[in-house]
Amino acid sequence: MLTPFTPAAPGCSVPCPPAPAAPGDGAPPSADGLAYSLTVPGEPYGAQIARSTVRAALHAHRLDRVVPAAEQVAGELFAASWYVNPGGRSLYLSLRHREGALRLTVYDGHAAHSHPRLAAHCEARRRAALRVMSAVVRDCGGAWGFGESREPGGGTRTWVTLPVAGAAGYLGS
């Protein structure tokens, strides 16, 4: 049996197959399906885009109770990454939910220094820029760190793990 085709799109001579029906019952996605990645301009306003995206994704997955902590962490990650990011390169955000925890990761283009003193100075500078975020992560019972990015093009990967149970209690929410 042949599948019916819809008429060709304007400017296209070949008819397109119809879109399949959306699976599921229309319920919001579960927390376990939360997996988003986004490239954001390496500009000061990138932190606002990151915060808004995190807020919307968590809301869509019924994780509103962790928005205050996750939004704060995303903004701080982006602000610090923008600060050390060379030449306004794009920043990359990854947001995942696994085993009862959120994992936020930001990749920036700042490569590791080969000289040990420069590397130590750079690490101290990055840690100082992330003091507020570090306090939020600690209050939520999470962990964070940074290191060389395994992505093509190199740079630095800064990650945060926030247990949902701990993040839900942030700011008494």
Q: Measuring CA to CA, which residue among 79, 81, 80, 104 is closest to residue 93?
A: 104
Tell me if 58 sits within 8 A of 68, measured CB to CB.
no
For 112, phi then psi, to 5°, come to -65, 145
Q: Tell which wins on pLDDT, 12 or 137.
A: 137
Contacts of 81 (CB under 8 A, 6+ apart): 42, 91, 106, 108, 110, 156, 158
Tell me if 104 sits within 8 A of 95, measured CB to CB.
yes
Residue 64 has pLDDT above 90, yes or no: yes
The band of 132, judged by pLDDT with boundaries at 50, 70 and 90, is very high
Residue 88 has pLDDT above 60, yes or no: yes
pLDDT at residue 45, rounded to an integer: 87
pLDDT at residue 8, rounded to an integer: 59
Residue 2 has pLDDT above 70, yes or no: no
Q: Determine which of 11-20, 142-151, 152-161 has the lowest per-residue pLDDT on average.
A: 11-20
Q: Measuring CA to CA, which residue among 17, 34, 93, 102 is closest to residue 66?
A: 102
Q: Measuring CA to CA, which residue among 146, 132, 139 is closest to residue 162?
A: 139
For 21, phi then psi, to 5°, come to -65, 145
* pTM check: above 0.85: no
- Give the integer Cα–Cα distance in Å for 111 and 113: 6
- Write the pLDDT tens digit of every residue in 91-118: 899 999 999 999 999 888 777 777 888 8
